[in-house]
Amino acid sequence: MQQFNYPTTIFFGEGAIERLASVIGKRGNKHLLLVTDATLVGLGVAEDVAGTLRGSGAQVTVFDHVHPNPIEDDVQLGTAAYKKNGCDAIVALGGGSPIDVAKVIKFLSTHDGPLAQYEDRLGGDALIVNPMPPVYAIPTTAGTGSEVGRSSVVTLAATQKKTIFFAPQLMPDIAVLAPELTVGLPAHITAATGIDAFTHCLEAWLAPGFHPMADGIAQEGIKICLDCLPRCVEDGTDLDARGKMLMAATMGATAFQKGLGMIHSLAHPLSAHFGLHHGLTNALLLPASIEFLEKSDLSDEQRARLAEIQRLFQICGLAGDSLSASCRQWFEKLGIVFGLAQHGIPEGRLDFLAEEAFDDPCHGSNMIPVSRDDLLATYRAAL
């Protein structure tokens, strides 16, 4: 068991949840709201973790009303449960969704509604000023890296849009990376979530701007994904590879403080309007987006950025003729079936989706600026 503090305090490895319980005991938290989802309750994982956390002396209330793509109702009900039970700390257990919901419950527990006024794009972070309870995050998937992130994405009831809430205070106080919690993930979810981690590292690496620290973390994260994601997909019980992928996911979210890019802008509307898994949507759009960059008028430095990642594919024996081809072939080996149409996206909706993607802020830090037509062309190429 090691402890890292970059930038969040991270407990990594066997015994990490016991360590969290001990810290909660020392801090004197009396009543924890354990935010999780129905699947983890069904598998008995939530009760196992709750049992360990009760060792701290605190009471634990389990709240599992969390949708795979969180909606406003989830955070409102969660906040009501937090207040009704007199909680004083939040533990998030699950993929990105319970962690995102926990972050919003954190600020809604001491800030009045409506939720919409806290939207990042409207400058809502300036309204997040009151003292708030701690959030301890225990990811059960290796993908979003939400456990070290400062933002949360929830679909608002009024607009039906994925809406970003962002404030440094939303970063969990402690992230607990326990590889044994991820061994039960089915191969296709392992692949999709791992590709999300890979996409975070890649988009951060390609984002413009001087940020050598983020670049270093992103590059190392990509190396870990190339080495360990296939191992996790092949043998879900490979604890070494599972642990390293948890770390790669954490690294991806650390690195993307530098920025994301067009892949995430293209991916978001597919989850919001068609309910597709976030990692899968990244996988479907990534090769076409990289191909768009390869065909664009890039500087030598930008070309070198693409070439460096292709070099990492070569080292692993996974390289195709170009970086876009390498990614596509690698994703196919991981079980991704390409073609938006194969996943229920009708061609007739692409104009609407391109409008939504252009509206999404992530492409603001794309390697090169993209227009609405560029995004539409990329959807067409991925159809």
Tell me the sheet residues that pair with 32: 60, 89
Least distance from Fe ion to the Cβ atom of residue 196, Å: 4
29 alpha carbon, distance to own chain's centre: 27
Among the candidate windows 192-200, 235-243, 269-277, 319-327, which touches Fe ion by CB under 5 A? 192-200
196 is a site residue for Fe ion (CB under 5 A): yes
Least distance from Fe ion to the Cβ atom of residue 113, Å: 27
C-beta of 101 vs 108, nearer to Fe ion: 101
d(CA 297, CA 370): 12
C-beta of 196 vs 291, nearer to Fe ion: 196
> How many residues sit close enough to Fe ion to count as binding (CB under 5 A)?
1
d(CA 285, CA 277): 13
63, 64, 65, 66 alpha-carbon torsion, rounded to 10°: 120
| Cα–Cα distances in angstroms (integers) from residue 295 to residues 291, 321, 335, in the given order | 6, 14, 27
Q: b/e map of 40-61 (b: 16 or more CB within 10 Å)?
A: bbeeebbeebbeebeebebbbb
Pairing of strands 2-5, 162-166: unpaired
Tell me the sheet residues that pair with 174: 9, 136
C-beta of 133 vs 145, nearer to Fe ion: 145
Least distance from Fe ion to the Cβ atom of residue 188, Å: 17
Site for Fe ion in 240-299 (CB under 5 A): none
C-beta of 37 vs 196, nearer to Fe ion: 196
Both tokens of 146, joined, read 């939400």
Least distance from Fe ion to the Cβ atom of residue 58, Å: 32
360 is a site residue for Fe ion (CB under 5 A): no
C-beta of 27 vs 273, nearer to Fe ion: 273
d(CA 290, CA 59): 49
Cβ atoms of residues 206 and 262 within 8 Å: no
Least distance from Fe ion to the Cβ atom of residue 282, Å: 6
Residue nearest to Fe ion (CB): 196
Among the candidate windows 99-107, 156-164, 189-197, 290-298, which touches Fe ion by CB under 5 A? 189-197
Among the candidate windows 110-118, 190-198, 211-219, 311-319, which touches Fe ion by CB under 5 A? 190-198
Least distance from Fe ion to the Cβ atom of residue 200, Å: 6
C-beta of 60 vs 255, nearer to Fe ion: 255
Residues making up the chain, counted from first to last: 383
Please give the residue ranges that form the binding site for Fe ion (CB under 5 A): 196
